[in-house]
Amino acid sequence: MRRSLAAAVGLVGLAATAVVTAGGTASAAPEALVPALQRDLGLTAEQVRQRLAGEQAALSRLPDLRALAGDAFGGSWLEDGSLVVSLTRADLAERVGAEGVRTRLVQHTERALTEAKAAIDARAATAPKAVTSWYVDTKANTVVVEVLKGAAGAEVSSFVEAAEAAGPVRVEETTAAPRTYAGAVVGGEAYYINGAGRCSIGFAVSGGFVSAGHCGSSGDSVSAADDSALGTFAGSSFPGNDYSYVRTTSSWSASPVVSGYGNGDVTVTGSAEAATGASICRSGSTTGWHCGSVGAKNQTVNYAEGSVSGLTETDVCAEPGDSGGSWVSGSQAQGVTSGGSGDCASGGTTYFQPVSEILGAYGLSLTTG
């Protein structure tokens, strides 16, 4: 009997499965997130439901607020359940605040910060390994460059000096170097690459599923947990990006399901991007279902294999074998697991590649329900 493709998750890094299945039904997405959000955020079930409802309401209002702010828009995020909009013009604070949101006056526009970060991205190939990442910190209204504690030398100094010349930059020390979550073959259902590596499925799409780029290269064969033929990597990008597209065989059908690992499955209904500070959950074959909050977006992470730009940071844990898996906020697909630092015993930081970029790169359509 053919196994569900949703069970075939897990190779490299973190994340959830969600996806190409041989069949099955899905429970309501928000309720599927409740148990893990209770556990990981220390909330009651009712607090989780209120939080999710508030986040969705804020997300729906953001486009109009951004338009109202115009060129003075400095960014937005969720804080204590409330939407905060930063502005570079004091005269607009009253107008935007009249819409029922909190405002904060800042020095730099979102555009200025994005351009400064892009200038640093242009030097990514020269980034020494001691420089672990760089990203726009919307709340602090600056670009942050992270450097390993105690790191020194001409290469580090040169890169940091060039970054500081690009615009508003703050250098921070970190004790953890990010890594991709490639893992050895272990027990449990997953999908396997060339009969050896193991990764997690991201989301079902037209003709197959998406996952992480470091999971495999174009032409690599893919098999399910029961060793049945699953498909072939039709496209893969890593480093630079961290995404891939696996074209499945005709024996597999697409499903909008993301496995909740006993917490109830999630039916994906779309791919609206969650705000910074919003709740988010991931599922992976090594560590199962874990939740937390969205952090900095469009972050460039400097792995040992090379830098990857456009990633979203989270405070969710993950471990080797979870890579490529799904991330959801409510019932909205967010991305696939790339890598990070730490583990699920002590906590950690995990990054995902936004799903919208993957769909656009390969001209794919997300399977929704």
By annotation, the residues acting in catalysis are 214, 242, 323
Answer for the pair 294, 274: CB distance below 8 angstroms, yes or no.
yes
The 3-state secondary structure of 207-267 reads CEEEECHHHCCCCCEEECCCCCEEEEEEEEECCECCEEEEEECCCCEECCEECCCCCCCEE
> For residue 137, which amino acid is it?
D
Q: How far apart are CA 87 and CA 166, in angstroms?
A: 21
Give the integer Cα–Cα distance in Å for 312 and 324.
Answer: 14
Residue 34: CA atoms inside 13 Å, Cβ hemisphere, count?
15
Instruction: Show the beta-strand stretches assigned E in 41-161.
Output: 73-79, 82-87, 102-105, 131-137, 142-148
List the one residue out of 282, 244, 212 whose CA is nearest residue 33.
282
Structure-block tokens of residue 228:
């049945």
3-state secondary structure of 154: helix
Q: Residues near 176 by Cβ (< 8 Å), separated by ≥ 6?
A: 132, 341, 342, 348, 349
Q: Minimal CA–CA distance to 18: which of 180, 197, 209? A: 209
What token pair was written down for 57? 């309401």
Taken in order 341, 234, 118, 156, the sign of the CA dihedral is: positive
